Amino acid sequence: MSGAADPPRSIHELNSDLFAPEEDDRFANPKEARKKAMDFLARREYGRRELIKRLAGAGFDAEIAEAAVDQLAAEGLQDDRRFVENFLQSRVSQGKGPARIQADLGQRGLPGGLVDEVLQDSETDWFALAREVRRKKFGAGLPTDFKEKARQMRFLQYRGFESAQVQAAVGSAGED
């Protein structure tokens, strides 16, 4: 047969042009970005930058992700201060010190001024927490030799306690 028609195309091939742009448009849709951000926030609190990064990682355009997070923040659904407060409580319950908490929040892209403010507003007794963490790990007795004292001090420093807090915990663990 001369003048034969093109070979038949599958229905998938015929419709692929119609569906591909729709999938791409989903990631440029502010409503979809907001919905995904709400899904993330339903599981746990996020800082602003961290939430934008998660949305971008899910395929959303950076501008769309930022606009969605800004809208959620304006509505009070995303709040950096609330995130920092919750994060602080979580880490205090894990026995982490202020330096470690501050570093972890800095890595998450939260403003240093806000972190400092929340740490200062916290009613956490860092000295008592350092003593408690030391006691849980090493027992009630104070270290008797230099090597053991240094080991306990390194542990507390790794946990994020400041020098004075470490000294108080290792030198006066029996107080309370």
pTM reported for the whole predicted model: 0.78
Q: Say if CB 130 and CB 121 are below 8 A apart.
A: no
Instruction: Report the range of poorest mean pLDDT among 37-51, 71-85, 137-151, 159-173.
Output: 159-173
pLDDT at 175: 44
CA distance 116 to 121: 9
pLDDT at 112: 87
Tell me the per-residue pLDDT of 79-88, one tens digit each, with 9 for 90 and over: 999 999 999 9
Q: Compute the average pLDDT of residues 118-134.
A: 96
pLDDT at 126: 97
Q: Compute the average pLDDT of residues 13-19.
A: 56
**Residue ranges of domains in the chain, CATH in brackets:** 14-74 (1.10.10), 80-121 (1.10.10), 126-171 (1.10.10)
Q: Compute the average pLDDT of residues 49-77.
A: 95
Q: How far is CA 38 from CA 43, 53, 67, 93, in A?
A: 9, 14, 13, 27
Tell me the per-residue pLDDT of 104-121, one tens digit each, with 9 for 90 and over: 999 999 998 999 999 999
